[in-house]
Structure 1
């Protein structure tokens, strides 16, 4: 920005007045150098960018705080449960294994190849 002002110093060092005409009243500023106005608007843009950045950060901070609170309440519910409610039922697994043992299950067994050809699967019933 300093290079632009230095290369165009004739324009930036000249003075101009700003006036606002509302048809009822007219407002005017005293003559100011153009460099003063450019720096004023540049700093105004930086301030607006910082405000929007911190506004977003505060929103995210609030959201994280709410989510942590929700997580803590869920964790407290889990820790307050009785151990019987948390552990899976083991007897269901054993019942399933007993049902599978009672059925005849077909298994596939490969025979070793003696003539160099691939082994073909053969179904064998187990008792």
Structure 2
């Protein structure tokens, strides 16, 4: 928010400085005319600063309209996606619990198979025979 405020302050101060330093030009009056070869339109004499400010404000209005148009379009798309998600979530919750939960006996059978594949190995303590050598049974 502070960045946006500082940028707008910088833009307005720059415009004010340009208008102040060139006030002779901006305070002089000009007449805008539009010649379409069929009809000719003209505005009453306006100061140049008035014309500049009017066109600046028109640009801001057009930018805001296009921004809010995109926001409304995105908001509508988000609402559509939320309703689709809610319907899918409702379908999942309406399913039978047996269809959603993983079968527990399959997991137990798998664990039993894994445990049965392990070969039990016991190490016997070394014992000495008559020759004084140690023999280890594995």
Q: TM-score, normalised by structure 1?
A: 0.73
Greater RCO (Cα-Cα under 8 Å, separation 6 or more)? 1
Q: Aligned-pair RMSD on alpha carbons?
A: 2.1
Distance 1:50 1:104 in 2: 71
Match in the other structure for 1:49: 63
More strand per residue: 1 or 2?
1
Matches within 5 A, 1:26-105: 26-103=40-117
**Partner residue of 1:15?**
29
Shift of 1:12: 0.5
Q: Identify unmatched segments of 5+ residues in structure 1.
A: 108-123
CA shift for structure 1 position 26: 2.1
CA distance in 1 between counterparts of 2:31 and 2:119 reads: 98
List structure 1 segments (4+ residues) > 4 angstroms apart after TM superposition.
Answer: 104-107
User: Alpha-carbon deviation of 1:10?
Assistant: 0.3
The structure with more helix, counted as a fraction of residues: 2
Give the number of aligned pairs. Answer: 108
